C-alpha cells in the first residue's frame, strides 16, 4: 500500500517547478493532492491532469496569496475539500524579482513579503485546526537565504529582497525554531504531534 494512502496534502505554488514535482511525488505516494495556483488556470490543469492520468487524485485550487485575505480564503477552500483533516502542508508558493537596489519600489518589497512570508504564516494559522496528530508542515526556502548569489552591488541586479523573504521563512521554521516551539505548545494543550521541516533547494 502507498505510504500516503487515504491522506490529503496541499502544495502551494504547485502549477510548475518544485511545487509541481512535489505534488506529483505526493500523488505517487497515494495522497489526494490539492494543487494550489495563483492566477494561471492553464498551468494548474496540466499537473492535475498528469496526476489523474497516472491514477492519482488531484484537485486544483486557485487563490492569490498576495492579497490580505488570500491565506484565509485558501484555508476555507481546503477545508471544504478535506473536511477536518489535512495531513501534509507544503509551503512552496513564492515570487521573485531581480533589480538594482536603487530600482526596487515599496510595492515590489511589499509584494514579495506578502506572498513569500505573510501568506505562509497565516496559512499555517488558518489550517492549524485541521493539521492533526502526525501531520507535516514543510516550508520551501532557498539557498539564497544563506549564500550571496551573483555579484550584488549598486550597479548590478540582485535578488536581495527575495533572499530576505527566504531568510524570514528560515527564521520562522528553522533557526529560531519558533514555529516548532509554538506547535509544541499547541501539542501539549491538545495532545498532537506536527512535524515541521524546511528544505533549501539551490
Average the pLDDT over 77-100 and give the result. 95
Query: Quick check: 152 pLDDT over 80?
Result: no
Look at domain 63-199 and name its CATH class: alpha beta
Contact assessment for residue 56 and residue 5, using Cβ atoms and an 8 Å cutoff: no
What distance in Å separates the CA atoms of residue 10 and residue 93, rounded to the nearest whole number? 11
Q: To which H or E segment does residue 140 belong?
A: strand 131-140
Q: What is the pLDDT of residue 182?
A: 66
What are the start-end ranges of the H helices in 83-171? Answer: 106-113, 119-127, 160-170
One DSSP character per residue, 49-71 reads HHHHHTT-EEEEEE--TTSTTHH
Domain extent listing, the chain: 63-199
Is the pLDDT score of 188 beyond 50?
Answer: no
If one counts every other C-beta atom within 10 angstroms of the C-beta of residue 15, the result is: 25
Helices 106-113, 160-170: crossing angle, 10 deg rounding? 30
- Is the pLDDT score of 133 beyond 60? yes
Q: What is the mean pLDDT of residues 181-186?
A: 61
Please answer whether residues 91 and 138 qualify as being in contact, where contact means their C-beta atoms are separated by less than 8 angstroms.
yes
Say if CB 195 and CB 135 are below 8 A apart.
yes
Contact 89, 134 (CB under 8 A): no
Confidence of residue 176 (pLDDT cuts 50, 70, 90): very low
What per-residue confidence (pLDDT) applies to 201? Answer: 79
For the beta carbon of residue 97, count every other beta carbon within 10 angstroms.
Answer: 17
Of 142 and 8, the one with more pLDDT: 8
Residues labelled catalytic: 141-142, 162, 166
Sheet holding 131-140, edge to edge: 57-62, 32-37, 8-11, 86-91, 131-140, 194-199
Residue 113, number of CB atoms within 10 A of its CB: 17
Mean pLDDT of all residues belonging to the chain: 87
Question: What is the rounded average pLDDT of the residues 33-38?
Answer: 95
Interatomic CA distance for residues 116 and 172, integer angstroms: 12
What confidence score (pLDDT) does residue 153 get?
59
C-alpha span between 27 and 153 (Å, rounded): 43
In this prediction the pTM is 0.88
Amino acid at each position: 500500500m502507498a505510504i500516503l494512502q487515504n491522506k490529503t496534502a496541499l502544495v502551494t505554488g504547485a502549477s510548475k517547478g518544485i511545487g509541481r514535482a512535489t505534488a506529483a511525488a505526493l500523488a505517487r505516494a497515494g495522497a489526494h493532492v490539492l494543487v494550489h495556483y495563483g492566477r494561471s488556470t492553464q498551468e494548474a490543469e496540466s499537473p492535475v491532469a498528469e496526476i489523474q492520468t497516472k491514477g492519482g487524485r488531484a484537485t486544483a485550487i486557485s487563490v492569490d496569496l498576495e492579497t490580505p485575505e488570500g491565506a484565509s480564503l485558501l484555508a476555507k477552500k481546503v477545508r471544504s475539500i478535506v473536511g477536518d483533516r489535512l495531513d501534509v502542508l507544503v509551503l512552496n508558493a513564492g515570487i521573485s524579482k531581480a533589480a538594482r537596489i536603487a530600482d526596487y519600489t515599496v510595492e515590489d518589497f511589499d509584494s514579495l513579503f506578502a506572498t513569500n512570508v505573510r501568506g505562509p504564516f497565516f496559512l499555517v494559522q488558518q489550517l492549524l485546526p485541521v493539521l492533526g496528530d502526525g501531520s507535516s508542515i514543510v516550508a520551501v526556502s532557498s539557498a539564497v537565504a544563506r549564500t550571496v548569489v551573483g555579484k550584488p552591488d549598486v550597479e548590478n541586479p540582485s535578488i536581495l529582497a527575495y533572499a530576505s523573504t527566504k531568510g524570514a521563512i528560515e527564521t520562522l521554521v528553522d533557526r529560531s525554531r519558533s514555529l516548532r516551539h509554538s506547535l509544541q505548545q499547541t501539542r501539549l494543550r491538545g495532545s498532537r504531534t506536527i512535524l515541521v521541516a524546511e528544505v533549501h533547494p539551490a
